[in-house]
């Protein structure tokens, strides 16, 4: 700790002097500067409980970040922008005298024209990254980006958007030398209020100079969307047609990655086993092309460290895939990036009763040298739905708390193609047509029809696929108490010589007896048949929802489901789900959830087996004062002969919650009795707003981790100075 105290005493006088003497007039208009200096230190002692042997380690990290931005309006509608980002991240192990230094420099300059009729811009961004480590050769990576754009948006006429991007990526020693040229043309036109037309053309030329081969990827995408209300708004219609034509050309002797079309982004965070449901929810921020903006998924320290984080894609139809890229919003250290384990799962559907098959577990996944992304490679799988599953970062990996937030921004999928297989050219034609009709027969009855047709033609492998979906639905209100709804759909899928027919149906009745009491009875089923046989899946569930008192709600579900697989294996599941949320006063909150499932299985030989699954979660939050909060939680899982218990306890004390100086004390404990593992963390810290331009954060934590084989004692110190002008 003497090193940390010494550093703090050295920088504190400088902070105080700059905060009090630096005049605001020294700052020019249009100039923004911010800096972050972070110093962390850790020492640990690990004892082998069997042999009594101990090992000590000590390391520190000093991360410096400086960011300067300049914006100046040089003429009406014309703005000049410039800036630079510099980071120097130094990590050293004092135990074995190994030092790693990563330097990043990113200059940028551009000019922007912005008026109501025409927008244009020209930007240059450079990236210089150097990595040096003891006893290892120095690595230098470079990237130059030049972007030009022109947008013409006349009133009542088609919008025209032209963009050109030139990217040169290379390194020293010369193992990478790639030039990418991307030209994009977009046009959008609202012919009248109900009809919108869109067209996009993208051309990507890649010249891999180090490997001496070139590729050409061209994509044409067009869409038409029409929306209208008929018969005094009694009938609503929405219909659209989308077509995408893609060609990829490359030398026959080479192997390249072809990006896959993504129909939906999907995600969920829950405690359920990754190979079971529930269904992932739609999250199209994962496929919007924005590699910077968060998609609402946090795998940093602030994420759920006990739950599974599921990040997935729906391709629209079964597709070959062998690599996933998961982008995040910041640069990660090698230790943090390497701590994530990624389990890849595939499924033909995405419903609450889905079964996800494990494809591979990748740990660690490669983290880009210049791009903030995980590259997860696995054996090729043919699937419509795919997901990667991981857990959020733990304090043991980031004891200094520097990676509280790591937001996922994008998910991409690829298939590896060989020139020998496709004879230098890979062509794909995707078409999608949908029609949605909703009719209001009366004030109490609504009926609708949905049609969707998907088709894909590709020449490598030479295989065509299509899917026709028809669905009708009905909603009816019998009275102020009872409402009902029903749906019936048929899906015909063709993939090569394989035809699959799926019927799905469901009926539900809801009774709202009181504003605080309701019941919902639901019956749903799925039948699927193809050349190999047929399967079915039926379920009946009755849900009770009640508000017992103000601040106290509860639910109870009872249900039964039946399913049969192609091999005549049958399962009958009996499920009970219950839970409550209890807030007796402003200081206490209690959450409880319990799921019990009894499964009777019979295989094709007539052998039977009974298994039980239990999952119980209890959380209690207690805030007796503004400055003190406590919480405790227990999660118990039992699946057949396997059981797991996780207990967690947290205490946070902040005696000065207001003001420029805030002190805090944190305590947490995690116990897993089945594996004789526990971990305790305790430590004080403070946040100090020295002035409007300077703030300082310092913290110390002591971590004790113990299993049945070893004991670890870890001391962590963190200091962080922020400067903003």
Closest CA to 39 of 96, 88, 104, 84: 88
* CB count in 10 Å sphere of residue 10: 9
Cα–Cα dist 508/485, whole Å? 5
What average pLDDT does the segment 664-682 reach?
82
What's the pLDDT at 25?
Answer: 39
The CATH architecture one would assign to domain 441-689 is Beta Barrel (2.40)
The pLDDT confidence band at residue 8, using thresholds 50, 70 and 90, is very low
Buried b (16+ CB within 10 A) or exposed e, 516-553: eebbbebebbbbbeeeeeebebebebebebbeeeeeeb
Task: Please determine, for residue 302, whether its predicted confidence score (pLDDT) is greater than 90.
Answer: no
How many CA within 13 A on the CB side of residue 74?
11
Can you say whether residue 135 is alpha, beta or left, with left for phi > 0 and alpha for psi between -120 and 50 degrees?
Answer: left
Does residue 313 have a cis peptide bond before it, meaning omega lies within 30 degrees of 0? no
Q: Which residue has the higher pLDDT, 304 or 184?
A: 184
**524-532 contact pairs (CB < 8 A, 24+):** 526/351, 526/502, 527/502, 527/503, 528/500, 528/501, 528/502, 528/503, 529/500, 529/501, 530/498, 530/499, 530/500, 530/501, 531/498, 531/499, 532/566
What's the pLDDT at 9?
Answer: 46
Task: Please determine, for residue 412, whether its predicted confidence score (pLDDT) is greater than 60.
Answer: yes
What average pLDDT does the segment 302-307 reach?
78
Q: Which residues pair with 180 in a beta bridge?
A: 167, 206
Task: Please determine, for residue 316, whether its predicted confidence score (pLDDT) is greater than 80.
Answer: no
> Domain residue spans in the chain?
264-419, 441-689
Task: Give the best-scoring range by mean pLDDT among 7-21, 117-131, 596-610, 661-675.
Answer: 117-131
Strands 213-230 and 407-418: unpaired
What's the start-to-end Cα distance of the chain, in Å? 32
DSSP state of 365: P
How many CA within 13 A on the CB side of residue 225?
9
The pLDDT confidence band at residue 434, using thresholds 50, 70 and 90, is very high
How many CA within 13 A on the CB side of residue 586?
2
Cα–Cα dist 599/353, whole Å? 13
pLDDT, one tens digit per residue, over 616-629 is: 999 999 999 888 99
What average pLDDT does the segment 269-293 reach?
86
CB-based contacts of 474, cutoff 8 Å, min separation 6: 445, 446, 447, 448, 485, 486, 487
CA distances from 265 to 92, 344, 409, 686 (A): 40, 15, 11, 40
Q: Please, are residues 372 and 406 in contact by the beta-carbon 8 Å criterion? A: no
pLDDT, one tens digit per residue, over 335-375 is: 889 999 999 999 988 877 677 999 999 989 999 888 899 99
Percent of the chain with pLDDT over 90: 48
Closest CA to 102 of 84, 129, 67, 136: 129
CB-based contacts of 229, cutoff 8 Å, min separation 6: 235, 236, 237
Task: Please determine, for residue 379, whether its predicted confidence score (pLDDT) is greater than 60.
Answer: yes
Whole-number average pLDDT of the chain: 87
pLDDT, one tens digit per residue, over 38-87 is: 998 888 898 988 888 888 888 888 999 999 999 998 888 899 999 999 99
Percent of the chain with pLDDT over 70: 93
Instruction: Tell me the DSSP string of 73-141.
Output: EEETTEEEEEEEEEEEEEEEETTTTEEEEEEEEEEEEEEEEE-SSEEEEEEEEEEEEEEEETTS--EEE
Q: Please, are residues 500 and 519 in contact by the beta-carbon 8 Å criterion? A: no
What's the pLDDT at 255?
Answer: 77
Task: Give the best-scoring range by mean pLDDT among 117-126, 173-182, 609-618.
Answer: 117-126
Record: fold of 264-419: Jelly Rolls (2.60.120)
Task: Please determine, for residue 1, whether its predicted confidence score (pLDDT) is greater than 60.
Answer: no
Closest CA to 419 of 215, 253, 208: 253
What average pLDDT does the segment 449-470 reach?
84
The pLDDT confidence band at residue 399, using thresholds 50, 70 and 90, is low
Say whether 13 sits in a helix, a strand or coil.
Answer: helix
Task: Please determine, for residue 469, whether its predicted confidence score (pLDDT) is greater than 60.
Answer: yes
pLDDT, one tens digit per residue, over 522-536 is: 999 999 898 888 888
Matching residue, tokens 């006429």: 157
Matching residue, tokens 């807030």: 583
């Amino acid at each position: 700790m003497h090193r940390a105290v010494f550093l703090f005493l050295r920088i504190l006088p400088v902070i105080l002097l700059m905060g009090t003497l630096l005049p605001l007039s020294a700052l020019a208009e249009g100039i923004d500067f911010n800096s972050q200096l972070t110093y962390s230190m850790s020492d640990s002692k690990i004892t082998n409980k069997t042999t009594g042997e101990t090992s000590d380690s000590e390391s520190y990290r000093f991360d410096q970040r400086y960011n300067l931005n300049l914006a100046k309006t040089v003429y009406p509608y014309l703005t000049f922008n410039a800036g630079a980002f510099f980071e120097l991240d130094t990590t050293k192990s004092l135990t074995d005298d190994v030092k790693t230094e990563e330097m990043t420099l990113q200059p940028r300059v551009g000019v922007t024209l912005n008026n109501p009729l025409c927008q244009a811009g020209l930007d240059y961004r450079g990236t210089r990254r150097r990595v040096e480590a003891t006893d290892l050769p120095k690595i230098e990576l470079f990237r130059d980006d030049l972007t030009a754009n022109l947008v013409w948006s006349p009133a009542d006429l088609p919008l025209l958007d032209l963009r050109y991007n030139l990217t040169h990526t290379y390194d020293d020693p010369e193992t990478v030398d790639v030039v990418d040229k991307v030209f994009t043309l977009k046009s959008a036109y609202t012919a009248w209020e109900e009809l919108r037309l869109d067209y996009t053309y993208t051309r990507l030329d890649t010249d891999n100079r180090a490997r001496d081969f070139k590729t050409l990827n061209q994509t044409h995408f067009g869409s038409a969307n029409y929306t209208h209300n008929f018969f005094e708004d009694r009938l609503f219609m929405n219909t659209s047609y989308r077509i995408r034509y893609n060609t990829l050309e490359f030398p026959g002797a080479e192997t390249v990655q072809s990006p896959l079309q993504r129909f939906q982004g999907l995600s969920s965070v829950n405690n359920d086993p990754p190979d079971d449901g529930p269904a992932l929810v739609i999250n199209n921020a994962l496929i919007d092309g924005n590699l910077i903006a968060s998609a609402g998924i946090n795998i940093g320290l602030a994420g759920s460290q006990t739950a599974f984080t599921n990040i997935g894609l729906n391709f629209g139809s079964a597709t070959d895939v062998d690599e996933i890229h998961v982008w995040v919003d910041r640069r990660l250290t090698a230790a943090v990036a390497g701590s994530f384990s990624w389990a890849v799962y595939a499924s033909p559907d995405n419903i609450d009763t889905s079964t996800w098959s494990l494809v591979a577990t990748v740990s660690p996944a490669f983290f880009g040298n210049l791009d903030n992304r995980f590259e997860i490679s696995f054996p090729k799988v043919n699937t419509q739905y795919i997901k990667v599953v991981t857990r959020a970062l733990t304090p043991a990996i980031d004891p200094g708390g520097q990676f509280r937030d790591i937001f996922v921004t994008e998910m991409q999928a690829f298939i590896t193609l060989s020139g020998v297989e496709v004879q230098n050219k890979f062509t794909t034609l995707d078409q999608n047509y949908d029609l949605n009709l909703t009719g209001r027969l009366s004030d109490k009855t609504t009926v609708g029809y949905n049609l969707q047709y998907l088709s894909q033609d590709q020449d490598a492998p030479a295989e065509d696929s299509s899917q026709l979906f028809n669905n009708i639905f009905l909603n009816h209100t019998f009275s102020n108490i009872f409402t009902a709804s029903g749906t019936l759909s048929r899906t015909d899928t063709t993939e090569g010589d394989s035809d699959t027919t799926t019927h799905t149906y469901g009926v539900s009745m809801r009774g709202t007896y009181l504003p605080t009491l309701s019941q919902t009875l639901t019956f749903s089923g799925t039948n699927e048949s193809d050349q190999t046989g047929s399967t079915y899946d039926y379920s009946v569930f009755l849900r009770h929802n009640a508000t017992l008192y103000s601040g106290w709600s509860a639910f109870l579900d009872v249900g039964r489901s039946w399913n049969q697989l192609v091999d005549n294996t049958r399962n009958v599941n009996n499920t009970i789900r219950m839970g409550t949320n209890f807030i007796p006063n402003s200081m206490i909150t209690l959450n409880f959830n319990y799921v019990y499932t009894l499964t009777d299985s019979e295989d094709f030989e007539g052998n039977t087996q009974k298994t039980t699954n239990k999952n119980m979660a209890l959380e209690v939050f207690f805030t007796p004062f503004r400055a003190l909060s406590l919480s405790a939680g227990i999660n118990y899982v039992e699946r057949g002969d396997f059981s797991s218990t996780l207990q967690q306890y947290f205490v946070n004390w902040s005696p000065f919650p207001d003001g420029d100086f805030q002190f805090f004390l944190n305590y947490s404990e995690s116990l897993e009795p089945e594996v004789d593992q526990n971990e305790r963390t305790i430590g004080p810290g403070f946040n100090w707003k020295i002035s409007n331009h300077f703030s300082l954060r310092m913290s110390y934590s002591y971590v004790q981790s113990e299993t049945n084989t070893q004991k670890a004692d870890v001391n962590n110190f963190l200091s962080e100075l922020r400067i903003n002008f």
